[in-house]
């Protein structure tokens, strides 16, 4: 003769079994994510990146330094009116060679920046896929 407690015991056993399975899967997922995190940190290590790709890294650092230097040279307070003195047009405007050099310099910096970012993007995409 069966008692009313037997189906409840079966259900309780199944609940315990499912809880154990969930706990095991949770531990497996945590271990995998920790391993993946360590692998990503090892692959994206700045020291390894610079050793593998010295020229793009140097270009990136050089560009960042130039941009930082330019931003620090700009005047902080632009609300004060600047008094301009009268001068001959040839004296006030930069010469053509100076403006051409500045344009060329900016284009070189932009090209180096784009090259560095493109190289970094390809490297990261390779590591992810």
How many angstroms separate the first and last alpha carbons of the chain?
62
pLDDT tier, 1 (very low <50, low <70, confident <90, very high otherwise): very low
Digit-coded pLDDT (tens) for 3-26: 566 777 888 999 999 999 999 999
At what angle are helices 96-128 and 54-73 packed, to 10 degrees?
A: 130
| Nearest alpha carbon to residue 53 among 104, 108, 122 | 122
What is the rounded CA–CA span in Å between residue 4 and residue 20? Answer: 26
Digit-coded pLDDT (tens) for 61-100: 888 888 877 777 665 555 555 555 555 555 555 566 666 6
């Amino acid at each position: 003769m069966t008692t009313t407690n037997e189906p409840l015991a079966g259900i309780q056993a199944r609940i315990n079994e499912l809880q154990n399975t969930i706990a095991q899967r949770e531990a497996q997922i945590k271990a995998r994510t920790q391993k993946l995190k360590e692998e990503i940190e090892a692959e994206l290590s700045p020291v390894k990146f610079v050793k593998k790709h010295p020229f793009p890294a140097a270009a990136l650092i050089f560009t960042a330094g130039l941009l930082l230097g330019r931003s620090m040279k700009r005047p902080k307070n632009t609300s004060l009116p600047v008094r301009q003195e009268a001068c001959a047009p040839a004296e006030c405007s930069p010469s053509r060679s100076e403006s051409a050099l500045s344009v060329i310099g900016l284009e070189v910096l932009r090209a180096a920046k784009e090259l560095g970012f493109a190289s970094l993007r390809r490297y990261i995409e390779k590591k992810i896929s």
